[in-house]
Copies of this chain bind each other. A is one copy, B any other.
Amino acid sequence: MSVVIPREFVFAAVHCGIKRDPAKRDLGLVVSRRPATAVGVYTQNRIFAAPVGWDRAHTPSDRVRAVVVNSGNANACTGEQGYRDAAEMARLTGEFIGATADEVLVLSTGIIGEFLPMDRISQGIRLAASQLSSDPQAFLAVAEALLTTDKYRKVAGSELQGSGQVVRLAGMAKGAGMISPRMATMLAVILTDAAVDPEAADRLLREAVNQSFNCISVDGHMSTNDTVLFLANGSSGVAVGGELSREFFAEKLTEVCQSLARAIVSDGEGASHLVTIDVSGCKTREDALQVARTVANSPLVKTAITGADPNWGRIVSAVGYSGVPFDPQKLTLDVNGFLLYQHGRPIPFDPEAVSRSIRQSPEVFVHIRLEEGTASARFWTCDLTTEYVRINADYHT
């Protein structure tokens, strides 16, 4: 995938020795040459990592200059020392790029409960700061430095044309479940050269996240480090809500987030299918999400998909215990376009045809329809394979 880099952002990534394998990058910098609006959305976990605490305290902002990321160590459950280390990462980065600590945000992912090797990180930041470049390869290098046990890097981008102007959006993410013991999961950074004020950026990011990263589940285990950052440095000279319509920008931002979110689920540990769950006909979007999330997190639904089994009973009964009120006589279900259950009753169907359609495609579409209202939601998950269990059970600390 080709990535178009938003103007006035530069990048660098290095191996500094947090990860053992010297071929693997483990530290990266994203630098904006001019102060950027920056907002974040963070894990709801009450046990949250030090960099989450740092970033929360420093967003929304209208003058962020950089994001420093490291993989291999999550700096989580590390107490006051951990917070001092996160602050020091920000300070060091600022020192090399000519900014103050509170103009730098921090992302960490990897092992929980160990202190950062600050000497190596310090050397890594110095080295990376000397290599900053706007080359797309440098952007991809940072996307690599984010990864832990992901099988591939996850990037997405978009160019928006509007009244002769061009605005660029680019995003990177990591996450594949909590594959390795003590791993934290999902991180993303979205960049644009549009001009957006912090308040508008915050709303835009929340809307986009609610339709992307908040609609995915690999194993239902919320990490201590989940963070999505959105930086807008205005270098295009185009203002969102001015020259560029807010709705159009919001749509593109959501698309970039959805693309990254789907990539995370596709790379879900051991996954053999990406499953899209559409729920419609609900009273509220929250109801629709709740139904989708319950179905997505059922190990019986996931293993049925692994086995290419058109097992409507598992899906229907998961809808039933979602906690959302509905009339069971008005529940309808189709899988890959095959109607399996209609108005509370099973429908005769050819199980072999449905099974084949699941087996032969890496994507499965589940559509659950209630008749309680007009709200809907789309949710993504993956199936549950013996490989998931092997990955998570056979790795010993």
- Give the interface centre of A299, A317, A346 by most chain B CB atoms within 10 Å: A317
Q: Please indicate the chain B residues that have their CB under 8 angstroms from the CB of A44 in the complex.
A: 321
Is there a chain B Cβ closer than 8 Å to A306's Cβ? yes
Please, how many angstroms separate the alpha-carbon atoms of A79 and B113 in the complex? 53
Q: Please indicate the chain B residues that have their CB under 8 angstroms from the CB of A318 in the complex.
A: 221
From B48, B182, B307, B397, A396 is in contact (CB under 8 Å) with: B307
- Give the interface centre of A220, A298, A394 by most chain B CB atoms within 10 Å: A220
Q: Mark A216-237, 1 if CB is under 8 A from B, else 0.
A: 0001111110000000000000
Minimum C-beta distance from A108 to chain B (A): 14
Is there a chain B Cβ closer than 8 Å to A351's Cβ? yes
- Give the interface centre of A321, A331, A351 by most chain B CB atoms within 10 Å: A321
Please, how many angstroms separate the alpha-carbon atoms of A388 and B303 in the complex? 9
Please, how many angstroms separate the alpha-carbon atoms of A309 and B393 in the complex? 8
Is there a chain B Cβ closer than 8 Å to A190's Cβ? no
Q: B224–A47 contact, CB under 8 A?
A: no
Minimum C-beta distance from A271 to chain B (A): 12
- Give the interface centre of A45, A47, A222, A389 by most chain B CB atoms within 10 Å: A389
Q: Mark A384-397, 1 if CB is under 8 A from B, else 0.
A: 11101110111111
Q: B392–A307 contact, CB under 8 A?
A: yes
Is there a chain B Cβ closer than 8 Å to A149's Cβ? no
Number of residues on chain A facing chain B (CB within 8 A): 62
Please, how many angstroms separate the alpha-carbon atoms of A33 and B388 in the complex? 53
Is there a chain B Cβ closer than 8 Å to A46's Cβ? yes
Please, how many angstroms separate the alpha-carbon atoms of A377 and B252 in the complex? 48
Q: B385–A389 contact, CB under 8 A?
A: yes
Q: Please indicate the chain B residues that have their CB under 8 angstroms from the CB of A316 in the complex.
A: 47, 77
Is there a chain B Cβ closer than 8 Å to A300's Cβ? yes
Q: Mark A361-397, 1 if CB is under 8 A from B, else 0.
A: 0000000000000000000000011101110111111
Q: B45–A77 contact, CB under 8 A?
A: no
Is there a chain B Cβ closer than 8 Å to A336's Cβ? no
- Give the interface centre of A219, A299, A388 by most chain B CB atoms within 10 Å: A299
Please, how many angstroms separate the alpha-carbon atoms of A221 and B45 in the complex? 23
Interface residues of A in 306-336 (CB under 8 A from B): 306-314, 316-321, 325-326, 328, 331
Q: B344–A79 contact, CB under 8 A?
A: yes
From B223, B313, B326, A113 is in contact (CB under 8 Å) with: B313
Q: Please indicate the chain B residues that have their CB under 8 angstroms from the CB of A303 in the complex.
A: 388-389, 392-393
Q: B113–A312 contact, CB under 8 A?
A: yes
Please, how many angstroms separate the alpha-carbon atoms of A182 and B300 in the complex? 10
- Contact A390-B386, Cβ < 8 Å, known A181-B313, A316-B77: yes
Q: B221–A328 contact, CB under 8 A?
A: no
Q: Please indicate the chain B residues that have their CB under 8 angstroms from the CB of A90 in the complex.
A: none
Q: A392–B299 contact, CB under 8 A?
A: yes
Given contacts A47-B331, A77-B313, could you give 13 more A-B pairs where the C-beta distance is less than 8 Å? A46-B319, A46-B321, A113-B346, A178-B314, A220-B297, A221-B318, A222-B317, A224-B320, A303-B388, A304-B392, A306-B393, A309-B393, A388-B389
